[in-house]
């Protein structure tokens, strides 16, 4: 790929700022990006980063960065292929994804059909785990901890809200994601920046600790699992992929519906997903946890992130973290069903 992540990053940002893109499709390139980000920003950035650091030490964040850099190229390729091999349905709706380019992009149609069907089947099964269960659990816990709402109530409300969006198809999903994701991401980034400003003197040390831990090993609390580089690599890469979903095949489904004449341009826009999700948002969460010293408390998952924010900006940090962890992940349920 000759470093497409670095060479075309600035150009990719300029593409999403274009007022209008001509071409066949159902939603704008920007809303296609927001749709995929609605499935990545949230649980992976808050609970995922905290879990990676609590089990793998601060160095896990370094390996999340590397995963994102590689993932940017991966997402560029898979989404470009999705646009190139997409199909138009009789009603004018565009559809595409791995099951299309696996089938139509190979010399052997039979093998391509088998691979496409296999992806579709595996995608259905994964939607219950990485696609739904983790997010449902995160939303339920966040609402219960903050507002004492029973899990069954939040589950029913969430199912009803998701149903309303799914009925409207990809256009309604793009509209909801295009408005919800930028607002919640901006709010969360603002809160993280406030915490980092309050702890600015600890930021250089946090970066140094992250690098040293990634290369030489830094024991997690109590000296257990995170004491070795192997665990930093394991949890950093695993949580990085869980967060940005590069190479999993979910993003191409949404990007295939974008209004554009240029598949490569949309691939470049898709490449911004891992950058925004991991390089920006995950980094802020990790720096907040490390710079505040919260990672040494023994807490994990969402409770660790909440503790880090709450220790610096009080209930506001608690509320913003809980809102981000319960609102944005809700959109993830909708991508595969739509």
Written as one string, the DSSP assignment of 160-219 is: HHHHHHHHTHHHHHHHHHHHHHHHHHHHHHHHHHHHHHHTGGGHHHHHHHHHHHHHH---
Domain membership flag for residue 185: yes
Residue 132 belongs to some domain of the structure = yes
pTM of the model: 0.84
Q: Which residue has the tokens 């992806």?
A: 119
Q: What pLDDT does 328 receive?
A: 59
CATH number, position 149: 1.20.1740.10
Q: Which is nearest to 278 in space by CA: 137, 67, 89? A: 67
Is the residue at 183 inside a domain? yes
**pLDDT for 13:** 92
Does residue 16 belong to any structural domain of this protein? Answer: no
**What is the distance, to the nearest Å, from the Cα of residue 66 to the centroid of all Cα atoms in its chain?**
15
**Band of residue 16 on the pLDDT scale cut at 50, 70, 90:** confident
pLDDT of residue 43: 72
- pLDDT of 40 > 70? The answer is yes
Residue 12 lies in a domain: no
| pLDDT (mean) for 148-152 | 84
In this structure, of 292-296, 305-309, 320-324, the range with the lowest mean pLDDT score is 320-324
- Of the two residues 287 and 301, the one the predictor is more confident about is 287
Query: With contact defined as beta carbons under 8 Å apart, do 249 and 335 qualify?
Result: no
Q: Which domain holds residue 234?
A: 22-335
Residue 14 lies in a domain: no
Between CA 283 and CA 318 the distance in angstroms is: 19
- pLDDT score, position 223: 47
Number of domain units in the chain = 1
The neighbouring-strand residues paired with 87 are 95
Q: Is residue 160 part of a domain?
A: yes
The Cα–Cα gap between 218 and 204 comes to 17
Instruction: Report whether pLDDT(222) > 60.
Output: no
Q: Is the pLDDT of residue 322 over 70?
A: yes
Residue 7 lies in a domain: no
């Amino acid at each position: 790929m000759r470093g497409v992540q670095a060479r075309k990053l600035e150009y990719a940002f300029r593409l999403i700022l274009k007022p209008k893109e001509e071409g066949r499709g159902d939603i704008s390139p920007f809303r296609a990006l927001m749709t995929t980000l609605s499935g990545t920003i949230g649980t992976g950035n808050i609970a995922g980063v905290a879990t990676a650091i609590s089990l793998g030490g601060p160095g896990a964040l370094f390996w999340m960065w590397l995963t994102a850099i590689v993932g940017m190229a991966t997402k560029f390729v898979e989404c470009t292929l999705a646009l190139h091999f997409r199909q138009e349905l009789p009603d004018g709706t565009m559809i595409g994804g791995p099951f299309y380019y696996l089938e139509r992009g190979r010399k052997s149609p039979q093998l391509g059909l088998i691979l496409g069907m296999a992806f579709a089947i595996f995608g259905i099964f994964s939607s219950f785990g990485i696609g739904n269960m983790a997010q449902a659990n995160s939303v339920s816990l966040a609402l219960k901890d903050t507002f004492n709402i029973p899990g069954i109530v939040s589950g029913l409300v969430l199912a009803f809200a998701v149903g309303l969006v799914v009925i409207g198809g990809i256009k309604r999903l793009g509209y909801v994601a295009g408005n919800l994701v930028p607002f919640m991401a901006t709010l969360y980034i603002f809160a993280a920046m406030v915490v980092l400003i309050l702890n600015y003197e600890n930021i250089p040390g946090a970066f140094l600790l992250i690098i040293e831990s990634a290369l030489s090993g830094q024991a997690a609390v109590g000296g257990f699992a995170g004491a070795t580089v192997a665990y930093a690599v394991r949890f950093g890469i695993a949580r990085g992929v869980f967060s940005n979903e590069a190479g999993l095949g979910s993003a191409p489904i949404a990007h295939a519906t974008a209004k554009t004449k240029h598949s490569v341009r949309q691939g470049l826009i898709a490449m911004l997903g891992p950058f925004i999700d991991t390089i920006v948002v995950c980094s802020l969460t990790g720096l907040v946890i490390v710079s505040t010293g919260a990672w040494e408390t023994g807490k994990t998952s969402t409770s660790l992130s909440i503790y880090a924010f709450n220790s610096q900006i009080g209930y506001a940090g608690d509320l913003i973290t809980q809102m981000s962890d319960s609102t944005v992940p809700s959109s993830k349920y909708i991508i595969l069903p739509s």
